[in-house]
Copies of this chain bind each other. A is one copy, B any other.
Amino acid sequence: MKKIEVLEEAARRVYNSVKHLPGTKESAGDFGRGAGGDISRRIDILAEKAVLDYLREIKFSCIVLGEECGRIEISDNPDGIVIMDAVDGSTNAVRGIPFSCCSLAFASGDRLSSVTDAVIIDLYNGDLYSASKGSGAFLNGNRITVHKETPLYFVVGLDLSGISPDSLQKLSPIISASNHIRHFGAVALELAIFSRGLVDLFVDLREKLRITDVAAGYLMVLEAGGLIVDRNSRPLDSDIGYEKKISFIAAANKKILDETIEKLGLRE
């Protein structure tokens, strides 16, 4: 069984386990702070359990790094790491806002750049996004790419939640110049819809994201033909670990990326 198929099946099991929960009181039960530092909600715990149960069932050779559960060894001598945010957009899910997903990536090494497989499933409608290194990105089995042409409306995804006044001021040039700014509240799914061409630029420079938020979306963007760089405008990379805080700019093409770096004064 290919690794991408394992991730896909795990994601489908999450969807089937929790799809009835978004917006219910049941989704929100408090399970204390997870490894990533946020409060774990019932929906988070059930979703992680679906993945862990499945990986154990098939004795998948891996370590899991989960947003809530932390580091769990599924097997000795693992082939790699499954990086899991079993529910990205827990706030949306708990409040009933229909935008949340399960994000799973497989890395053969200990760097973001060693991610070889990625799956993101939309927990509202079951849309399944997947990508394997060198093989492209897919939505429900159909090839997807970032938006290649100049779009009719240029849409910018931007996460500003809890940003410092200083950092906000630095983003002001792209905010003032953009007529269509969006933030849906689940970065992995936002990178997935970016990868299918619905959004042209996505910026998160808050230094708040964790590897679990970003790992699957990172490969999805690259395999869909997009670009993704760090706050120093270098190709995004990172150790795989909880302590790393990640910022990025994802752009549909080089022109958009260059203009954004210019506007933000990030050129070294």
Residues of chain A at the chain B interface (Cβ within 8 Å): 23, 28, 91, 94-97, 151-153, 155, 158-165, 168-169, 172, 175-185, 193, 198-199
Contacting pair A96 B183 (CB below 8 A): no
Contacting pair B155 A96 (CB below 8 A): no
- A interface, over-half SS: loop
Taking the closest CB of chain B, its distance from the CB of A136, in whole angstroms, is 20
Q: Which residue of B lies closest to A125 (CB)?
A: B98
Taking the closest CB of chain B, its distance from the CB of A175, in whole angstroms, is 5
Contact residues in B for A168 (Cβ distance below 8 Å): 168-169, 172, 175-176
Give 30 pairs: A residue, B residue, CB < 8 Å, sorted on A.
A23-B198, A28-B152, A91-B153, A91-B180, A94-B152, A95-B152, A95-B155, A95-B198, A96-B198, A97-B182, A160-B160, A161-B175, A161-B180, A162-B175, A162-B176, A162-B178, A162-B179, A163-B175, A163-B176, A165-B169, A165-B172, A165-B176, A168-B168, A168-B169, A168-B175, A169-B169, A169-B172, A180-B185, A182-B183, A182-B185
Contacting pair B164 A176 (CB below 8 A): yes
Taking the closest CB of chain B, its distance from the CB of A182, in whole angstroms, is 5
Known: A23-B198, A161-B181. 9 other contacts (CB 8 A): A91-B180, A95-B198, A165-B172, A165-B176, A168-B168, A168-B169, A169-B172, A182-B184, A183-B183
Contacting pair B152 A97 (CB below 8 A): no
A7 to B74, CA, bound (A): 57
Contact residues in B for A165 (Cβ distance below 8 Å): 169, 172, 176
Contact residues in B for A185 (Cβ distance below 8 Å): 155, 180, 182
A185 to B183, CA, bound (A): 9
Copies in the complex: 2
Taking the closest CB of chain B, its distance from the CB of A11, in whole angstroms, is 20
Q: Which residue of B lies closest to A173 (CB)?
A: B165
Given contacts A95-B198, A184-B184, contact A178 B155 (CB under 8 A): no
Q: Which residue of B lies closest to A169 (CB)?
A: B169
A161 to B154, CA, bound (A): 11
Contact residues in B for A172 (Cβ distance below 8 Å): 165, 168-169
Contact residues in B for A163 (Cβ distance below 8 Å): 175-176
Contact residues in B for A169 (Cβ distance below 8 Å): 165, 168-169, 172
Contact residues in B for A159 (Cβ distance below 8 Å): 181
A152 to B153, CA, bound (A): 35
**Among B97, B193, B199, contact of A193 (Cβ-Cβ < 8 Å):** B97
